Amino acid sequence: MDYGALFVAASAHVRAKVPDEIDWTGQPHPSRTYPGAPRTPLERGEIDMPLGVALSGRRSRREFGPGPFAHTGPLLHAAVGARAFPSAGALYPIELHVVAQDADGVPDGIHHYDARAHALELRRPGRLQATLADALLDQPTVAQARPCSRSPPSPPA
C-alpha cells in the first residue's frame, strides 16, 4: 500500500458534495437539560450597567460573602441565554456550569445552566472546595474558600 498516495488523496482540497436531501429533524436540542435534577429558577432582568463600567470595576477577590444571587440570572442570560453570539448551525454548543457555595436560595454544589428554562440544575450537591482545588492544580484560594463576614462591594456608580 502506498501510504503517501493515500495521504495525498485523503487530504486533497475537494469541495464537499451537498447531499440531495438534508434531514433537519435529526438536529440536537440547542442546549442540554437534565430531567429530574433539582432546579433553582433564576431572576430575570437586564443588567443596568454599561459594559465598560462593569469591566473597569472588576476586581479579583479572595473572600466571598454570602448574599443574594440576584445578579447571576441576568448575567447568565446575557452571556449564554440570549444567544447573542454566532454559532455554526445555530447549535450553541456552550454548556455553562456554576459552582455555588453559601449563595442565598441556591444549594451548595455544581449546577448546570439551562438557558431555555433560565434555571440552574443541581448536578453535584455539596461543598466541593477540595475537589475543585485538586482540579485547579491545588490552588489555595479555592481550597481555603470560606464565606467572609463583610458584605460584598457595591457596583461602581
Q: What is the pLDDT of residues 33-73, one digit of tens each?
A: 899 999 999 988 888 888 899 889 888 776 666 666 667 88
Q: How deeply is 59 buried, as exposed, middle or buried, from its count of CB atoms within 10 A (0-12, 13-18, 19+)?
A: exposed
pLDDT for the residue numbered 40: 95
> Is residue 144 included in any domain, yes or no?
yes
Q: Check if the beta carbon of residue 31 is closer than 8 Å to that of residue 114.
A: yes
Mean pLDDT of 71-94: 80
> Is residue 21 included in any domain, yes or no?
no
> Is residue 139 included in any domain, yes or no?
yes
Number of domains forming the structure of the chain? 1
Could you read off the pLDDT of 93-147 as tens digits, one per residue?
788 999 888 888 899 999 999 988 999 999 999 988 888 888 888 888 787 776 6
Q: What is the pTM of this model?
A: 0.69
> Is residue 118 included in any domain, yes or no?
yes
> Is residue 27 included in any domain, yes or no?
no
> Is residue 10 included in any domain, yes or no?
no
Parent domain of 70: 32-55+66-83+91-148
> Is residue 7 included in any domain, yes or no?
no
Element (H, E) at 98: strand 97-100
The alpha carbon torsion through 152, 150, 68, 80 (nearest 10 deg) reads 40
> Is residue 19 included in any domain, yes or no?
no
